[in-house]
Structure 1
């Protein structure tokens, strides 16, 4: 059973430390080949597993927050670049994995897309689902238990009410 108040207990790492860890993935270049991304994410999970559990849960918190901040209509309504038909829009899962790709690309790319959907657009052709499981794999490796925490931020697509003002009730 999920701990509904777990987010109150999770430590939060600094943004600098989060981006330092994300930087070990290899930046935008790692997104070009799926096999490299898988290996890079496995390496990051192993690196996290060497540290204290608080760093693992802190990473999970920062990742959720970073993805939540990217959950905006200006990005989610972009068509998929390089799609066969120009009307191929991002599904909820596609948009989540695209946001993960922006995070995987690193701090400079991440910070540079806000207010500039045209900078986000090329990432619609990329996916980085593997990043979503890095902290979960590290947590399981260290504790022998599955990740069972709710983060402070819900990163599922369309969960950021400020980013999707027209979806508000």
Structure 2
């Protein structure tokens, strides 16, 4: 799954009604990924981790706890490619999500749940990039 396919999947699974905590999005993504090959689940996990890693920078999360920062970054991803890319260009767009505690924690569990549904096992996954807060050392240089 390349970046375009990742964002298309997010777009395809975004509900047409309000979904403030991305619960519906996460459920639809999990169902969609569970119906496909395991390789797609793994590729989705990689793309999700990369997207979250790219937002792991001091200009976004300097005043947030690690969990709040992670869940807020997930909300930016859940908002879709346009919002995500705009936020990468303009860190001020992150502020309302952080201020209003707009979170999408459920998005983080999508790959693990899809993996469990396909294999019946828990996934002890490691992705190329860590999505944990403050793991992007280049993003926090001079912090």
TM-score (norm 1): 0.78
In structure 2, what is the Cα distance between the partners aligned to 1:75 and 1:30? 25
Q: Which residue of 1 aligns with 2:59?
A: 74
In structure 1, what is the Cα distance between the partners aligned to 2:134 and 2:107? 19
In structure 1, what is the Cα distance between the partners aligned to 2:28 and 2:64? 29
Q: Which residue of 2 aligns with 1:156?
A: 132
SS at match of 2:138: coil
Provide structure 1 residue ranges, at least 5 long, that are not aligned to the other structure. Answer: 1-12, 78-88
SS at match of 1:114: helix
Q: Which residue of 2 aligns with 1:141?
A: 117
Q: Which residue of 1 aligns with 2:37?
A: 52
Q: Runs in 1 of length 4+ with deviation above 6 angstroms?
A: none
Provide structure 2 residue ranges, at least 5 long, that are not aligned to the other structure. Answer: none
- 1:116 is the counterpart of 2:79: no
- 1:132 is the counterpart of 2:108: yes
Q: Is the 8 A contact 1:27 1:106 kept in 2?
A: no
Q: Which residue of 2 aligns with 1:9?
A: none
Q: Is the 8 A contact 1:136 1:147 kept in 2?
A: yes
- State the shift of 1:29 in Å: 6.5
Count of equivalent residues: 141
In structure 2, what is the Cα distance between the partners aligned to 1:96 and 1:24? 23
Q: Provide Cα deviations, 1:9-49, integer angstroms capped at 9, x if missing partner.
A: xxxx20011001111342797443x4xx2232111101001
**More deviation, 114-123/153-162:** 114-123
In structure 1, what is the Cα distance between the partners aligned to 2:43 and 2:82? 21
